[in-house]
Amino acid sequence: MHHLGTLAVLGFFLIACAPQPQRRGASLQSHSPEIISIVDDLKIQSFVTMEGRRILEVTDNRDQNREYRFYLAQFKNPNWIGAAAGSHVIYVQIKAARNAYLNRQVFLPGLRRILAHEIAHDLLNHPKNRNNSAAEELEADRLGIILWKRLGWDCSYWIQQYETKQKKGITSTLYPTELQLRQARSLCPEAEERKRDDLKKELLEADLLHKTPGLERHLIPR
């Protein structure tokens, strides 16, 4: 980035789920025009770091686990949820991190998806390139989902996210929902199988109800 002189090379690439910022030297706050502020909340930052390191443990970079730094950021663009700045620096939107910290049941998968995706960008060396591309976004998703599976996390979450996006008609050149969804489905076939099994079960049950009116009366209060 401009203000860091020679360090600029390391700095600032539009990576991640949004163009990206970076650090090294100077204070974090001065690093990227894309970040309004770095939020100091040690409890939440430790929580995010622990989750990030859990993912790193199943990567080829596990030896460098301690070198990774996770920061809570307020991005200028409220749609940005994370960013990989290169040099093992990951930013996570404070709101997503706080939500996960306060309500793990509901929001932890969302945080884990951000972390896996951004860590994947870092592992794939994407921050070195100056431009984000759809190919890189898909690649980061791909590795992110693979990391989730290594950890035994339910990859159907990714599919649900993209199905929701698709239903809302949200897509872009950089984040092509249709391709993201297709890739997630192919990497996570167990989710599709489970869905088919559930449907089959439902149909069988419906068939059973149809054939046994007595049962139907019994199950469905009139």
Does 90 bind Zn ion (CB under 5 A)? Our answer is no
**CB closer to Zn ion, 91 vs 153:** 91
Asked whether 189 and 147 are in contact (CB, 8 A), the reply is no
Does 145 bind Zn ion (CB under 5 A)? Our answer is no
Does 143 bind Zn ion (CB under 5 A)? Our answer is no
Does 96 bind Zn ion (CB under 5 A)? Our answer is no
* Rounded CA separation 35/216 (Å): 58
**β-pairing verdict for 69-75 and 35-39:** antiparallel
User: Cα torsion for 179, 74, 116, 131, to the nearest 10°?
Assistant: 50
How many residues lie near Zn ion (CB under 5 A)? 4
Q: Which residue is nearest to Zn ion (CB)?
A: 17
Stretch that binds Zn ion, among 47-55, 60-68, 133-141, 142-150 (CB under 5 A): 133-141
Instruction: Give the one residue of 1, 10, 14, 17 binding Zn ion; rule: CB under 5 A.
Output: 17
Query: Taking the complex as a whole, how short is the minimal distance between the CB of residue 141 and Zn ion, in angstroms?
Result: 8
**β-pairing verdict for 82-86 and 35-39:** unpaired
Query: Taking the complex as a whole, how short is the minimal distance between the CB of residue 30 and Zn ion, in angstroms?
Result: 23
Does 44 bind Zn ion (CB under 5 A)? Our answer is no
Selection from 8, 34, 10 nearest residue 21 by Cα: 34
Does 85 bind Zn ion (CB under 5 A)? Our answer is no
Does 147 bind Zn ion (CB under 5 A)? Our answer is no
**CB closer to Zn ion, 3 vs 69:** 69
Query: Taking the complex as a whole, how short is the minimal distance between the CB of residue 106 and Zn ion, in angstroms?
Result: 23
* Rounded CA separation 146/195 (Å): 20
Return residues touching Zn ion (CB under 5 A). 16-17, 137, 140
